Amino acid sequence: MKKYMDEDFLLTTKVAKELYHSHAAKMPIIDYHCHLQPREIAEDKRWSDIAEVWLGGDHYKWRQMRSNGVDEKFITGDSSWREKFMQYAQTMERLVKNPLFDWSHLELKRYFGINERLCSASAERIWKKCNAKLKTKGFSAQGLMKKSNVKVVCTTDDPDDSLEWHKKIAAEPFGVKVLPAWRPDRILKEAVAKKKDPMEHLAERHKYFEKNGCVLSDYGIVDIPEKGLYADLLFECLKMDAKAGWTTQLHFNCIRNLNTKMFKKLGPDTGYDAINDSRNAMGLAKLLDRLEKADALPRVILYSLNANDFETLTSIMGCFQKGPDRGKIQLGSAWWFLDHKDGMSRQIDALGALGCLGNFVGMLTDSRSFLSYTRHEYFRRILCRKLGEEVERGEIPCDLKWLGGIVEDISYNNAKSYFGV
């Protein structure tokens, strides 16, 4: 019987082990989409309690604690961090097969040197050990980023943000680039509601972001309309992205804030969102075609929260690929509810079957936590496992130098080249 989470965790073949240990593991990280707070990075924040850095703002964990019957006071309420940690430890006893089970144990292992299972019996011991470790050198926001071999991070920022913390970080570099990413959802939503044109203001702020190092935009979309005010505003925004040489990220097929009572109590991003039906193909196709006809199509990464879209998106992408960019239009990594073993595998399979897997820009954290960089390791292990198993079956040539180069590219090199960072 194989030990859980040993050095060959998820690696099922000799080739997979070679690809991961000799190629994927050594590559740095470009985390091009996350929700870290720039102020916390600039101030090099430290935490006194593992629960604060682990559970504070993490709606992935909040959802499952609710699923385990935990009272809200131990989730988002005013209970102590210790009490919240103990409740999460109890929840972990029931999370077999949930990605949080693997992520949590990877984080405990990589950052705190803890190899035992988190449960009620071990919770007090693990809590104390983690908190002692947090007091030592390197366990700060910047320290954790450097410890994780992160080279570039792109945060998620409102166009009206002053970017003061990004400026402070740039003025006092610590070895990791921290770049803003343009997220105009609020302004676009207000413009549609009020039927007002915000483009003059957005153009001014777009230039401000460009001046301060921005290389990516990001749009959270429920549906991509074929026509109307929102379609026109999105078109104009992507034209600006293309002119600036940015990469556009389109996130869609998420139903947000389903629980009205809890939304009124806690606000957005608290664990009450869900996967939407698949219905964006024509709107997306018309948007990309309209941009291409105007010679204004930027590099675009497409993320759907519905895995049933993977093949559809990859086929649409192929209609708009164009040099000199390799993989100008990308199928984004398995996002949010899909960033588990099966979701990542389905995304890799769809891109491999209908696109050019070797040009994929790889994983991201989409996280608010400084301990989430192990998600890159998780993805890389799954990628190496899939390639290794297909080599084992004789479906891919056993050329480890060639495959190792592809793994290194997907892990880091493609993103570095694609985003120009």
Question: Is residue 223 pLDDT above 90, yes or no?
Answer: no
Q: For 212-358, where are the alpha helices, taking DSSP H only?
A: 229-244, 260-266, 281-293, 310-318, 341-354
In this predicted structure, what is the pLDDT of residue 295?
A: 97
Q: Report the alpha-carbon distance of residue 211 to residue 202 in Å, rounded.
A: 14
pLDDT of 409-421, one tens digit each? 999 999 999 999 9
Q: Answer whether 285's CB lies under 8 Å from 319's CB.
A: yes
Rounded Cα–Cα distance for residues 358 and 405 (Å): 9
pLDDT band, residue 298 (cuts 50/70/90):
very high
Q: Coil, strand or helix: which one is 398?
A: coil
- Residue with tokens 């504070």, as numbered in its chain: 56
Q: CA 158, CA 245: separation in Å to the nearest integer? A: 19
Q: Which of 374, 338, 365 is nearest to 103 (CA)?
A: 374
Please determine, for residue 60, whether its predicted confidence score (pLDDT) is greater than 90: yes
Q: In which band, very low, low, confident or very high, does the pLDDT at 182 lie, cut at 50, 70 and 90?
A: very high
Please give the full DSSP string across 183-220, using - where no structure is assigned.
Answer: --HHHHHHHHHHT---HHHHHHHHHHHHHTT--EEEEE
Confidence at residue 278, expressed as pLDDT on a 0 to 100 scale: 79
- Report pLDDT digits (tens) over 352-365: 999 999 999 999 99
Confidence of residue 1 (pLDDT cuts 50, 70, 90): confident
- List CB contacts of 391: < 8 A, sequence separation 6 or more: 13, 15, 397, 398, 403
Residue 364 near residue 141, CB atoms below 8 Å: no
Residue 177 is encoded by which pair of tokens? 């680039």
- Quote the pLDDT of residue 181: 98
Q: What are 105's two structure tokens? A: 């144990």
User: Residue 87's pLDDT is what?
Assistant: 98
Report d(CA 279, CA 224) in Å as an integer.
Answer: 8
Per-residue DSSP letter, 362: -
Across the range 300-308, mean pLDDT stands at 96
Q: Above 90 in pLDDT, residue 396?
A: yes
What percent of the chain shows pLDDT beyond 70? Answer: 100
Q: What is the pLDDT of residues 322-346, one digit of tens each?
A: 999 999 999 999 999 999 999 999 9
Rounded to whole angstroms, the Cα distance separating 246 from 216 reads 5
- The pLDDT assigned to 279 comes to 82
Would the pLDDT of 222 be above 90?
A: no
Q: What is the pLDDT of residue 225?
A: 87
C-alpha distances out from residue 42 to 8, 175, 283, Å? 36, 12, 40
Q: What value does the mean pLDDT of the chain take? A: 96
Mean pLDDT of all residues in 35-57: 96
Q: What is the mean pLDDT of residues 359-385?
A: 97
Which whole number is the average pLDDT over 2-14?
96
pTM above 0.85, yes or no: yes
Give residue 47's pLDDT: 96
In the structure, what pLDDT confidence band is assigned to residue 266 with cuts at 50, 70 and 90? very high
CB-side neighbour CA atoms (13 Å) of 295 = 0
Q: Which amino acid appears at position 127 of this protein?
A: W
Average pLDDT over residues 42-68: 96
- Residue 324: asked if its preceding bond is cis (omega within 30°), the reply is yes
Look at the block and give the residue holding tokens 């210790």: 82
- For the segment 137-152, the average pLDDT, to the nearest whole number, is 97
